[in-house]
Structure 1
Amino acid sequence: MKVLITDEISPEGLQPLQEDPRIQVDVKLGLAVEELHRIIGDYEAIITRSGTRVDSALIRHAKNLKIIARAGVGIDNVEVDAASKQGIIVVNAPYGNVNSAAEHTMALLLSLCRNITQANPSLKSGEWKRAPFTGHELKGRTLGIIGLGKVGGRVALRAKAFEMEVLTYDPYISEKRAEDFGVKLVSLEDIVRYADVISVHTPLNDETRGMIGAEHFEGMKNGVIVVNCARGGIIDEAAMLDALDSGRVTGAAFDVWSEEPPTSDVLRRLIGHERMVVTPHLGANTFEAQKNVAVDVSREIIHYLDGRPMENAVNIPRFDPDLMEHMRPFIGLISQMGEFLSQLAPANPEKITFSYYGKIARYDCAPLTVAGLAALLNRATETEVNMVNARLVARNMGIAIEETRTTEAESFSDMISLSVQTPEGQRSMAGTLFEGKPKIVKMRDFQTDFTPEPYMLVMNYEDRPGLIGKIGTILGAEGVNIGNMNLGRRAKAGEAMVVLSIDSPASDEVLEQLAAAIDARFLKQVHMTQAETD
């Protein structure tokens, strides 16, 4: 096998490949795009970091490519869908730099608390000043961790060693998982209200972009410290600058930025602020981490050659092809159900139950369970959750998975039910296929009949005359067109559930108007990315 390396990779980490007589390793750094396109057809594997764009154009030239290996966590520079269409396996190294990122978080926090970045140049310049650099201890302070994943969990353990009290907000883990780390699971509002130090450790996505904004800074303690070693943009940087200028935040430490390298005036002012400790995205930049990620992807390539399962593949299922072909329509159904329910269920799932009814229960439903689980959890982690790693992700989150099957079915020849149990209660839905297309036939105990579409509104309220009209009037006034409507009721003038498909997303202001107008018990906008592509 010929392996091409296009970015700086730790030589020590590549040793497993160098020692395997079946593998020829070529290191060619700084290739022009045209040259890379010209030679890529000779290789069966490519190893990159962030410096090489593995896009559809490159993949079209990669006639013999079998594996794309990203020596790091993120795969933003790899067009996974294009690779999948060509049957190319994409692997990454999601665990190799976790310890480095956690240690860098603590390094920034300690540097900020003990004024290291100011005291160091002062002494080097010949001054002997001590009083201006009086610092703060971590012992006895409350650390609020947003995101108790691989990095956040390690930060929690290190903070506990400094005798800090640790609170965490993470809507995708169970209370048991938090207890395993010896931390208390709380709401985001409680993190903001009670923490002396706030550190974010979430992926950057639609849910987390700007999740700490001006309104949160207003609710924080005076003198709070804010740390971001996760992803630029999770914290609103303009609001961060205002909070530092106002004095509400005593100091902040950032390793990541919404623009890298930073160019905007806001970022230049934030980076230059006297109470900021800053680094240029160094969280994973240790010799150990670079070696670890190289070792991880090297092993994956060897696993491929040996015909062994690949631990960190992001785009391949491992099921019998004949079974997959039979299950494919149902995989589409349960994936849409999982994505839909993930946006409705309360935080901190403890148990997820997959139930199969009718003819489909005669088969091994494991592919469906894993596909539904991946769709449910894909918004919860910084790495893509797929059919390969979904169960591992759920286990790491402390979520119990249950699967039941019965060939007995009441209304449909095949039906799938999905239920999520949380400390706040249970959310469930059921679906089937109608002429090959997904159909949601039940939500909680309401009978429904709708096909998931890209933008939807789910509302639950006490049924009273005129409310449907109010909903239409409010949406119409804002230029939001209703595509389809499904109404489920328990009884006349009882509790009602309405599911609307809309042609465009509704703003937060519109949602607030709707909630007030119908006195909603529950109102949620759902964005179905899978419905956009199906």
Structure 2
Amino acid sequence: MKVIVTDEVAQEGLELLKQDPRVEMEVRLGLKKEELLNVIGDYDVIITRSGTTVDKDVLDAGKKLKMVARAGVGIDNVDVDYASSRGVIVVNAPFGNTNSAAEHAMALLLAFCRNITKANASLKSGEWKRAPFTGVELKGKTAGVIGLGKVGGRVATRLKAFECDVLACDPYIAVKRAHDLGVKLVSHDEIYKNCDIITLHTPLNDETRDMIGERELAMMKHGVILVNAARGGIINEAALLEGLKSGKVFGAAVDVWSEEPPKTEILKELIAQEKLVVTPHLGANTVEAQINVAVDVSKEILNYLDEMPLENAVNIPRFDMALMDQMRPFLNLMSVMCDLGIQLVDCNLEKVTFGYAGNIAHYDCTPLSVCGLTALLNRRVDQDVNMVNATLIAEQMGIVIEETKSTQTDAFSNLITLVIEGGGKRKLISGTLFEGEPRIVRLRDYAMDFAPAEHMLLLHYEDRPGMIGRIGTIMGQHDINIAAMNLGRREKKGEAMVILSLDSPVPQNVVDELRKATDASFVKALHMPTAKCNRGCGCGI
């Protein structure tokens, strides 16, 4: 196997490849794109960091490429979708910098609390001042950790070692993980109201962008300390600037920015604030982290050669194709069910059960379960999840996965049932195939029958005359067309469940209006991108 290394990668990792006689490796740094295009066709694997863009041109020129190995967490410089279409495996090293990121968050916090940066500059300038740099201790403070994943969990452990009382918020982590770490899971608002220190460890996505803004800052204690060593944009930087100016925020320590390098006037003014300790995105910049990621991707290359499972592949699964041919008609059904189910869950995931009944139970359903788990987790975690790493990630999150089978089923030749449990709540969805297309036939304990659509709305309310009319009127007033409606109920004038298939998404203000008009106990606008594609599984099969 021929391997080309195009960016600086720690030699400790590359040594693993050099020692294997099956690997012929060349290190060619600083190649211009045209030069890379001219040579990439000779190689089976390319090892990169952030300096090389592996785009369509490179992948097309790499006629022999079997793998792109990114020695780091991010894969923004790799066209993963096109690599998948070319059958090229993309691997990264999502865990190599975990400890470095956690330690950097603590370093930022301690540097702020003990005025390290100011005192250092003062002494180096020839001054000998002590009183201006009187600090504060961590002991006895209430610290809030938002995001209890691989980095947040380590930060929580270190805060406890400093004798902090630690609260944590992460709706996608099992309660067991919090118990194992010795921290208490609470809501976001409880974190904001009760904590002296708040540190962020979440991905940046639509849910977390500007997660902390004016409203959240207003809820916080006067004199709160904020730490962001996760992703720029989680804290609204204009709001943070105002919080520092007003004194509401005693101080902050920030490693990441919404624009890197920072160029806007707001960012420049924010960085210049006296009560702010800053670094230029150094969370992963340790010798150990760089060695770790190099070792991790080198091990993945050797795993590929040994035909072993790839723990950190981000796209291509490796299942027996004969088995996939048998299961392929059910992949879309499973992914659509999971896409629907995960949007109905507002608590910590603790257990997921995949049930198979009828003819399908005669087969090995593991690929379906892993595909479903992939669909669930891709809505919950920062890193890319695929059929190779989904089980490992679920285990790290403390989620129990079970599979049940029965060759007997009453009404359908094949039935898949998904049960999601957490926080004392239980969500059940059953589905089948009708002429090859997914159909949902049960939600909770309601018998239903509908084809999933890209845009849907689910309501629970007390069944009484005129409710359907109210819903239709409100949707019409907001120019939202109802394509289909399915109603489920157990008894007259009892609780009813209605699910609408729509031609367009439902804005939050319309959801709020519907809740008020129907006195609904549950209203949820659903976006189901998997319902509009041919297979939708996202598994790369």
Q: TM-score range with shorter-chain normalisation?
A: over 0.9
Match of 1:218 in 2: 218
SS of 1:432's equivalent in the other structure is: strand
Q: Which amino acid aligns with 1:411?
A: A
Matching of residues 411-490 of structure 1 within 5 Å: 411-490=411-490
* 1:263-296 CA-partner distances (Å, limit 9, x unpaired): 2222222222211111111000001100110011
Give the Cα–Cα distance (whole angstroms) in 1 for the partners of residues 402 and 307 of structure 2: 30
Change (3 A) 1:57 1:492: farther
Q: TM-score scaled to structure 1, two decimals?
A: 0.97
Look up the SS of the partner of 1:172 in the other structure.
coil
Correspondences of 1:331-342 after superposition (within 5 Å): 331-342=331-342
- Counterparts of 1:57-68 in structure 2, within 5 Å, are 57-68=57-68
- 1:214-234 deviation line (CA, Å, top 9, x unaligned): 211110111111111111112
> Following the alignment from structure 1 to structure 2, what is the Cα–Cα distance between the partners of residues 258 and 336?
33
The one-letter code matched in structure 2 to 1:221 is: K
Say how many residue pairs are matched: 534
What's 1:241 paired with? 241
Match in the other structure for 2:387: 387
Aligned residue for 2:150? 150
| Partner SS state of residue 421, structure 2 | strand
Separation in 2, partners of 1:176, 1:226 = 27
**TM-score, structure 2 as length reference:** 0.96
Show structure 1 runs of 4+ deviating over 6 A. none
1:345 aligns with 2:345: yes
Match of 2:11, SS state, is coil
The RMSD of aligned alpha carbons is 1.5
Gaps of 5+ in 2: 535-541
Counterparts of 2:338 and 2:154, CA distance in 1: 29
Asked whether the equivalents of residues 346 and 424 of structure 1 are also in contact (C-alpha less than 8 Å), the reply is no
Question: Match for residue 538 of structure 2?
Answer: none
- Deviation for aligned residue 1:409: 1.0
- Are 1:29 and 2:33 matched, yes or no? no
1:122 maps to which residue? Answer: 122
CA contact (8 A) 1:346 1:425 kept: no
Task: Give the letter for the 1:234 counterpart.
Answer: I
| 2:88–2:316 CA contact under 8 A, matched in 1 | no
Aligned partner of residue 14 in structure 1, secondary structure: helix
CA distance in 1, matches of 2:529, 2:272: 39
Partner of 1:369: 369
**Counterpart code for 2:203:** P
- Deviation readout 1:51-73 (Å, 9 max, x if unpaired): 22222232122111001111111
Code of the residue aligned with 1:51 in structure 2: it is G
Contact 2:213–2:235 under 8 Å retained in 1: yes
Say if 2:501 is the partner of 1:501.
yes
Distance of aligned partners of 1:77 and 1:454 in 2 relative to their CA distance in 1, 3 Å threshold:
farther
Q: Please list, as runs of the form range in 1=range in 2, the aligned pairs for 1:187-226 lying within 5 A after superposition.
A: 187-226=187-226
SS of equivalent residue, structure 1 residue 13? helix
What is the CA–CA distance in structure 2 between the aligned matches of 1:474 and 1:58, rounded to whole Å?
51
Instruction: Please give the alpha-carbon distance, in whole angstroms, between the structure 1 residues aligned to 2:374 and 2:297.
Output: 22
For residue 343 of structure 1, report the CA deviation from its aligned partner: 1.0
Match of 1:257 in 2: 257
Partners of 1:245 and 1:315 lie apart in 2 by 46
CA distance in structure 1 between the aligned counterparts of 2:367 and 2:266, rounded to whole angstroms: 48
Aligned-pair identity in percent equals 61
Distance 2:117 2:478 in 1: 51
The aligned amino acid for 2:284 is A
The residue number in structure 2 matching 1:514 is 514
User: Which segment is superposed worse, 363-372 or 236-245?
Assistant: 236-245
Q: Distance in 2 between matches of 1:405 and 1:490?
A: 27
Deviates more, 1:311-320 or 1:36-45: 311-320
DSSP 3-state at the match of 2:52: coil
Correspondence for 1:167: 167
CA contact (8 A) 2:309 2:388 kept: no
Q: 2:537 maps to which residue?
A: none
Distance in 1, matches of 2:276 and 2:484, equals 51
Report if the CA contact (8 A) 2:70-2:93 is conserved. Answer: yes
Q: Secondary structure at the match of 2:340?
A: helix
The equivalent of 1:268 in structure 2 is 268
Cα offset, 1:6, TM superposition? 1.9
Hey, what does 1:398 align to over in structure 2?
398
Offset at 1:424? 3.6
- In the TM superposition, residue 210 of structure 1 has moved relative to its aligned partner by 1.9
Q: Distance in 2 between matches of 1:529 and 1:236?
A: 28
Which is further off, 412-421 or 339-348? 339-348
Contact (CA 8 Å) 2:370, 2:387: kept in 1 or not? yes
Where do residues 298-317 of structure 1 align in structure 2 (5 Å cutoff)? 298-317=298-317
* Deviation sequence 1:147-202 (CA, Å, 0-9, x none): 11110111111111111111111111111111111111111111111111111111
Gap change, CA 1:533 and 1:243, over 3 Å in 2: farther
